[in-house]
Amino acid sequence: MDIKGVGLGLRSAHYSDILKENPAIPWFEVLADNYLIKGSPNLSYLEKIRQNYPLTLHCIGMSLGSMDPLNFNYLKKIKKLIKIVEPVLISDHLSWTSFNKQYFHELLPLPFTEEAIFHVAKRIRQVQDFLEQKIMIENISSYLCFKQSQLTEWAFLKEIADQADCFILLDINNIYVNAYNHQLNALNYIKSLDTNRIAQFHLAGFENKGYYLLDTHGASFSSDVLKLFQQAIKKFGALPTVIEWDSHIPIFSRLLEEVQIAQTIMDQYANII
Amino acid sequence: MLTLFELQKKFTENLKNQDMEIYSFIQHNKHMSPKKQLAIYQDSILSAMQQALTRIYPVCKKLVGEAFFNYIINHYIIIHPSFSPDLNNYGAGFSEYLKDIETMATLCYLADVANFEWSWHSLYQQITDKKFDFDKLRFYENQAKNIIFKLPRSAILLQSIYPIYHIFLINQKENEDDQSIFLQPNQQYFYIIWRNDLGRQISSLNKVEWIILTWMQDKLSLGEMSEKLMDLNHEINLNIIIPQMICCGFIVDIAINN
């Protein structure tokens, strides 16, 4: 199955809109962690929505960068969900969320080092072997950099994807947030990321806290992020794109307007080289 | 240079107890010191856990007020880390934690209300069982004494000396009714809560019903329950009460105890 165009992050607040109106959205991205219990109401809704739409699964619990052993109980649940909804693609973040069995429920940053590349790539390969398919890894927003980093963020991302033989889910908003937070050039990130492993884009909104941008997924994407999106499409093509909201989630009709905006940009810039 | 293990260890030690060793491994930012950069993560982690507890325990929050609730949960978060990748699983021990707070003595029912709210919350991620199949009763007719009754897999039996469901109801957002509750001495309240289709169900029980349902949870057969009931209450007839429980949805299946 193939997906194209601009999809939406599925949120429970919109189940009834989707089931009633069957909107013209090419696919939905699902937060996998909310659907891991067989027979639960969330999963019942998801199965109904799946009848009409392709899905991608977005995970937050793999903790790919952690020094803890992989949580195979969690991965078993993900594998069961994969069998139920047959997603087009599965993703998690290039980060760590746990240490010493404690979960922090936050995407924590990695140092861009050879050791981290080796460690994370090995774990991604283990996850892919277990799930019997390639996954996508997403670049995260971060609020600090480690002195010991030896590579740029984009080189780190590319190297891990190459060593793990996985796809990249390129979050355009996160590039913009990191460029602001670490005084980098966001456009340079896109220009320098030399890979054909990108399978999907993310768009979302941030909150300006003055000295830094906070990746909240609680606002519309900014015009600067859309400019970066244009450049990403020009370079990597009109890859499937998801609009994410996690807080202050608006009514569904407003999300449809955002889809339209992003789709128009995609159509405009897809053929510009 | 720190190994990845050492770096994650120092990073998390800072998150937990502000340990400063990690600072020297973080790049200075034009606008923020390492301390401030790490504080963004500390705030975000705290906020996620606060939001989880606030979502699960809205009635407790209403009963003690926002300021005191925030004070309590901040302390709870410090001493109770999360050990699940799913934030929906965080906060299970909040009721027990409340029992140990001396200043809670004036709100003696708060821990039981919290236990109710946790149970109610946990139902959301539970399985819905199929409806009772009456044909099975006929199938096991000749082995009636050995029949064991199965409650919904989501069923939770609760008891309290406080009217916790009443307290829960009158503290819902939309409820504008009189919020007075007169606590009766020597009273006991019994409930069963369970998942049914896409909704959550609750039913108040009398003491005998509650006892019978706990026996069923303990997999006592019909014969064993009949014997125990003889000692407890001669007036209760299981032939009447069990069909009623099936109709109410308290019993969803039967099997034979071998």
Domain limits, chain B = 1-105, 126-258
Interface test with B, best of A42, A141, A143 (most B CBs within 10 A): A143
Average pLDDT over residues A51-65: 97
How large is the average pLDDT for residues A12-37?
Answer: 95
Average pLDDT, chain B: 90
Q: Who among B32, B49, B87 is closest to A211 (CB)?
A: B32
Report pLDDT for B185: 74
CB within 8 Å of A3: residues ≥ 6 apart? A26, A27, A54, A56, A88, A89, A240
Helix, coil or strand: residue B119: helix
Residue ranges covered by each domain of chain A: 6-269
Please report which confidence band the pLDDT of residue A113 belongs to, taking 50, 70 and 90 as the band edges. Answer: very high
Provide the pLDDT for residue A270.
82
Average pLDDT score, chain A? 95
Q: If you average pLDDT over residues A206-225, what whole number do you get?
A: 94
Task: Quickly list DSSP for A156-192.
Answer: HHHHHHHHHT-EEEEEHHHHHHHHHHTT--HHHHHHH
* Gap between the Cα atoms of B204 and B116, Å rounded: 13
Task: Find the mean pLDDT for residues A114-123.
Answer: 98
Chain B contact for A60 (CB, 8 A cutoff): yes
- Mean pLDDT for the stretch of residues A31-55: 92
Does the pLDDT value for residue A152 go beyond 90?
yes
Beta-carbon separation of A108 and B41 below 8 A: yes
For B23, the 3-state DSSP assignment is: helix
According to the model, what pLDDT value does residue A272 have? Answer: 64
pLDDT digits 0-9 by tens, A259-270: 999 999 999 988
Give the C-alpha separation, A225 to A205, whole Å. 9
Q: Cβ of B7 and A111 within 8 Å?
A: yes
The CATH homologous superfamily to which domain A6-269 belongs is Divalent-metal-dependent TIM barrel enzymes (3.20.20.150)
Question: Which has the minimum average pLDDT: A39-43, A62-66, A185-189, B145-149?
Answer: A39-43
Taking 50 as the pLDDT cut, the residues of chain B under it are none
Q: What per-residue confidence (pLDDT) applies to B142?
A: 82
Ranges A133-137, A169-173, A191-195: which has the least confidence: A191-195
